[in-house]
Amino acid sequence: MSDIKIITTHKLNTPELLEAWRCISADITADLKANAKGFVSRESGIDEEGTIYCILQWNSREESEAFMQSLPMRPDFMEKMAEFTRVVNLETMSKKIIDLF
């Protein structure tokens, strides 16, 4: 097992939703810190074209995948996904996984 970084990008459904995204992003980070075994860090930012970048570091790919697979089993999953899709344009999402050495 080796550390990985995951870089995701997406745009918002409208630029006016940036504050809503900041709240969602803060909730995601807090949840990861409290509940995700192997989670190391998460940073996010926005570029001049409105693309949001989230950069996560995990101790291993397996721990990241295990956490992601556990999310749909949570009682609040559908509610959180509804808010996420209200704010985030899913068609613009991309994800890269980078093995660190």
Percentage of residues in the chain with pLDDT exceeding 70?
99
Q: Is the pLDDT of residue 1 over 80?
A: no
Ordered strands of the 39-46 beta sheet:
39-46, 52-58, 4-12, 88-99
Residue 51 in contact with residue 45, Cβ under 8 Å?
A: no
Among the listed residues 101, 15, 12, the one whose alpha carbon sits nearest the alpha carbon of residue 54: 12
What is 4-99's CATH topology? Alpha-Beta Plaits (3.30.70)
Average pLDDT (5-17) is 98
- The C-alpha atoms of residue 63 and residue 84 are separated, in whole angstroms, by 23
Which tokens sit at 82?
């509804």
Average pLDDT (1-30) is 96
- The C-alpha atoms of residue 33 and residue 21 are separated, in whole angstroms, by 18
Instruction: Give the strand pairing for 39-46 and 88-99.
Output: unpaired
Query: What predicted TM-score, i.e. pTM, was given to this entire model?
Result: 0.93
- The C-alpha atoms of residue 3 and residue 5 are separated, in whole angstroms, by 7
Residue 75 is given by DSSP the state T
